[in-house]
């Protein structure tokens, strides 16, 4: 029953070992064991959930376990990649050698606080840990020696943290609400969910609106997506992967938990409309920003906004099936985005740029990264047999049952997004020219994660494991949808 304590003790050990170790490789290895320990924590908790810790301030239930898995897997692949990528960054002078330790320390801290956020039961504690992840993400973006990185990092801090303050207002409101309804204020998810029916719906809807603003900034929902393209394109690729795959889930997770509480009351339609509006806005804004985008990483960044919009729409529909597929989409999107960011990372190191115009002879110079980008692009658009196809299709089917005109609108927008990917793809991969660009030999440690992830995305696309099915069903019933 002491799994979380054991994990915490181990993570402290990891931090200490990272501080003491000298080589890049050792630090990388230690961080990798850390990521594995997260997966182990998830696997152990799977049989024992729900587990309460620290005065019920922490709770590991099915949803936390699911998020642990995603986080652990993404961190694992990103860290494998980061090891080799880091050496290259130091070589190019983009990262100072004495900052490598800082880099690994913050990556480990980011992982710890992400796990702790997913394990928090208390809304305020969750808020605090999410803010800490913002801190470390911003730090990791700013670690490279460039004024643009600092700028991107500051933008990320200001937009995310200001929005998070609104979430805190919502938290205060919920506390006041529970105090007036239950006599004693509480912010625990489980107690809120159990007592949701005794809360006043109007008040709860208002609190939800505030909390939604805060967490949607974390997952890049429009109009809070503005810092993301900068942050994604400037951060080291491993970090972009983590922001896009894990931080986005963190925001959606917070929204999902709060939404589950609101769903119990008669305020559900109001909250659902809010989600729907922001979801549509995100897809709309993302699509039209993608259409004229010539920067590969920024294109992928906007696609994250599009996908969080899709997830919001799925949540807005609110049927158990829709929520089920949104949860699955979280995993699918995280894996696919990782493929894309890791591939563009190799291209970026080859050409020192993300601009389509600078990328020449991509197939000849970087065949693997090119294939990764093409397959990842196909996967993110929802082309079968990749995993996003299943989740995206199922969400759209649910949307068809909810409102047909809305489905047509979303389909049109998704089509435009595909056009954007296609046009940039053709531009990049048909751009051949006789130039003597020295080939950058990406080490195995950078290419292997891409191959592994592509295989994973493909396998999950044709085979739906019954374990995941059981876990997702349990989550949906736990959240009382």
Partner 1 sequence: MITAALAESLTQALVVLVLISGAFIVTRKDLLSLVSTYQMQSLLLAGVALSLYSVDQSPTLLYLAGLTLVSKVLLIPYIIKRIQRKINISRDMEFHYVSPIASIFITIILILLVYGAFSNILKELALSNLFYLGAVFGISLTLMGMLITFSRKKVITKIIGYLTMENGVLLFSLFITELPFIIEVLILVDLFMIVLLATILSIGMDSSVEAYQERFHQLHIEDLQEKLHLHRKHRGES
Token output for 393: 């299709």
Range 181-220, binding partner 1 (CB under 8 A): 185, 200, 202-203, 206
Helix (H) or strand (E) holding 50: none
Pick from 147, 184, 292, 436 the residue near partner 1 by CB under 8 A: 147
Is residue 134 part of the contact set for partner 1 (CB under 8 A)?
A: yes
How many Å apart are CA 38 and CA 73, to the nearest integer? 9
> Is 174 in contact with 193 (CB distance < 8 Å)?
no
Residue 132 engages partner 1 in binding (rule: CB under 8 A): yes
Q: How far is the CB of 292 from partner 1 (least distance, A)?
A: 24
Q: Is 138 a residue that touches partner 1 (CB under 8 A)? A: yes
Interface residue with partner 1, options 124, 400, 416, 456 (CB under 8 A): 124
Query: Is residue 176 a contact point for partner 1 (CB under 8 A)?
Result: yes
Of the candidate residues 72, 131, 234, 347, the single one contacting partner 1 (CB under 8 A):
131
Cα distances (angstroms) measured from residue 481 to each of 123, 257, 296, 419, 465: 20, 11, 38, 35, 22
User: Which are the contacts of 378, defined by CB distance < 8 A and separation ≥ 6?
Assistant: 386
Q: Where are the alpha helices (DSSP H) in 187-267?
A: 189-195, 201-218, 227-234, 237-242, 248-263
List the one residue from 139, 208, 402, 421 that touches partner 1 (CB under 8 A): 139
Q: Name the strand (E) or helix (H) holding 97.
A: none
Residue 402 engages partner 1 in binding (rule: CB under 8 A): no
Contact (Cβ atoms closer than 8 angstroms) between residue 296 and residue 347: yes
CB-based burial of residue 387 (10 Å sphere; 0-12 exposed, 13-18 middle, 19+ buried)? buried
Q: Is 135 in the site for partner 1 (CB under 8 A)?
A: yes
Of the pair 137, 343, the CB lying nearest partner 1 is at 137
Q: What is the closest distance, in whole angstroms, from the C-beta atom of residue 241 to partner 1 in the complex?
A: 22
- Smallest gap from Cβ 132 to partner 1, in A, equals 7
Compute the distance between CA of residue 417 and CA of residue 72 in angstroms, rounded to an integer: 30
DSSP 266-316: TTHHHHHHHHHHHHHHHHHHHHHHHHT--BHHHHHHHHHHHHHHHHHHHHH
By the rule CB under 8 A, 166 interacts with partner 1: yes
Nearer to partner 1, 172 or 409 (CB): 172
Q: Does 128 help bind partner 1 (rule: CB under 8 A)?
A: yes
Segment near partner 1 (CB under 8 A); pick from 29-37, 155-163, 228-236, 304-312: 155-163
Measure the CA angle with vertex 479, ends 56 and 170; round to 5°: 70
CB-nearer residue toward partner 1: 17 or 172? 172
Kindly state the number of chain residues that form the binding site for partner 1, as judged by CB under 8 A. 36
Residue 133 binds partner 1, judged by CB under 8 A: no
User: Stretches 165-173, 298-306, 451-459, 467-475: which one binds partner 1 (CB under 8 A)?
Assistant: 165-173
One of 151, 190, 191, 478 touching partner 1 (CB under 8 A): 151
Please say which residue, 81 or 224, places its beta carbon nearer to partner 1.
Answer: 224
Q: How far is CA 368 from the centre of its chain?
A: 24
Q: Which position among 153, 343, 398, 447 is part of the footprint of partner 1 (CB under 8 A)? A: 153
Helix (H, G, I), strand (E, B) or coil at 353: coil
Query: Which span (143-151, 214-222, 283-291, 388-396) binds partner 1, by CB under 8 A?
Result: 143-151
Please list, in sequence order, all residues whose beta carbon lies within 8 angstroms of the beta carbon of residue 231, skipping any fewer than 6 positions away: 137, 141, 152, 153, 155, 156, 240, 243, 301
d(CA 213, CA 224): 9
Shortest distance, CB of residue 107 to partner 1, whole angstroms? 16
Window of 12-20, 129-137, 271-279, 459-467 that interacts with partner 1 by CB under 8 A: 129-137
Least distance CB 157 / partner 1 (angstroms)? 5
Draw the binding track, 429-448, toward partner 1 (x: CB under 8 A; -: no contact).
--------------------
Burial 301-331 (b: 16+ CB within 10 A, else e): bbbbbbbbbbbbbbbbbbeebbbbbbbbbbb
Instruction: Say how many CA atoms lie within 13 Å of 426 toward its Cβ.
Output: 5
CA-closest candidate to residue 110, choices 41, 31, 215: 31
Rg of the chain's alpha carbons, rounded to an integer?
21
Among the residue ranges 39-47, 133-141, 277-285, 367-375, the one whose residues contact partner 1 (CB under 8 A): 133-141
- Gap between the Cα atoms of 416 and 313, Å rounded: 18
Nearer to partner 1, 62 or 114 (CB): 114
Residue closer to partner 1, measured from CB, 227 or 251: 227
Residue 125 makes contact with partner 1 by CB under 8 A: yes
- Closest alpha carbon to 73 in 81, 85, 84: 81
Q: Which stretch binds partner 1 (CB under 8 A): 61-69, 147-155, 253-261, 359-367?
A: 147-155
Check binding of 400 to partner 1 (CB under 8 A). Answer: no
Residue 203 Cβ vs partner 1, minimum distance, rounded to whole Å: 5
Site residues for partner 1 per CB under 8 A: 124-125, 127-128, 131-132, 134-135, 138-139, 142, 147, 150-151, 153-154, 157-158, 161-162, 165-166, 168-169, 172-173, 175-177, 179-180, 185, 200, 202-203, 206
């Amino acid at each position: 029953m002491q799994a979380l304590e054991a994990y915490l003790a181990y993570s402290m050990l990891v931090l200490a070992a990272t501080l003491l170790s000298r080589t890049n490789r050792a630090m990388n290895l230690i961080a990798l064991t850390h990521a594995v320990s997260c997966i182990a924590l998830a696997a152990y908790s799977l049989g024992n959930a729900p587990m309460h810790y620290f005065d019920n301030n922490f709770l590991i239930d099915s949803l936390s376990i699911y998020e642990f898995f995603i986080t652990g897997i993404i961190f694992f692949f990103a860290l494998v990649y980061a090891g080799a990528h880091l050496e290259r960054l130091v070589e190019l002078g983009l990262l100072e050698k004495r900052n490598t330790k800082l880099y690994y320390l913050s990556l480990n801290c980011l992982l710890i606080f992400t796990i702790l956020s997913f394990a928090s039961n208390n809304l305020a504690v969750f808020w605090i840990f999410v803010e800490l992840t913002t801190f470390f993400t911003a730090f990791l973006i700013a670690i490279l020696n460039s004024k643009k990185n600092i700028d991107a990092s500051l933008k990320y801090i200001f937009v995310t943290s200001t929005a998070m303050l609104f979430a805190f207002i919502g938290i205060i409101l919920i506390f006041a609400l529970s105090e007036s309804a239950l006599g004693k204020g509480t912010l625990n998810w489980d107690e809120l969910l159990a007592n949701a029916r005794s809360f006043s719906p109007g008040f709860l809807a208002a609190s939800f609106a505030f909390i939604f603003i805060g967490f949607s900034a974390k997952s890049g929902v429009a109009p809070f997506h503005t810092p993301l393209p900068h942050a994604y394109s400037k951060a080291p690729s491993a970090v972009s992967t983590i922001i896009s795959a894990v931080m986005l889930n963190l925001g959606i997770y917070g929204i999902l938990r709060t939404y589950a509480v609101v769903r119990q009351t008669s305020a559900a339609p109001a909250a659902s409309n809010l989600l729907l509006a922001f979801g549509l806005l995100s897809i709309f804004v993302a699509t039209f920003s993608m259409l004229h985008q010539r920067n590969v990483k920024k294109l992928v960044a906007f696609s994250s906004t599009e996908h969080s919009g899709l997830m919001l729409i799925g949540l807005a529909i609110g049927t158990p099936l829709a929520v089920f597929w949104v949860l699955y989409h979280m995993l699918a999107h995280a894996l696919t985005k990782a493929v894309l960011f890791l591939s563009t990372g190799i291209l970026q190191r080859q050409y020192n740029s993300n601009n389509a115009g600078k990328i020449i002879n991509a197939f000849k110079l970087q065949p693997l990264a090119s294939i990764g980008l093409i397959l990842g692009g196909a996967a993110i658009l929802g082309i079968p047999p990749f995993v996003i196809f299943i989740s995206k299709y199922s969400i759209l089917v649910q949307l068809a049952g909810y409102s047909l005109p809305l489905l047509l609108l979303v389909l049109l927008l998704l089509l435009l997004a595909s056009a954007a990917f296609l046009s940039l793809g053709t531009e990049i991969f048909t751009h051949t020219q006789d130039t003597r660009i020295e080939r950058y030999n990406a080490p195995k440690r950078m290419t292997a994660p891409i191959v592994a992830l592509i295989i994973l995305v493909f396998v999950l696309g044709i085979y739906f494991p019954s374990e995941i099915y059981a876990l997702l069903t349990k989550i949906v019933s736990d959240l009382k949808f």
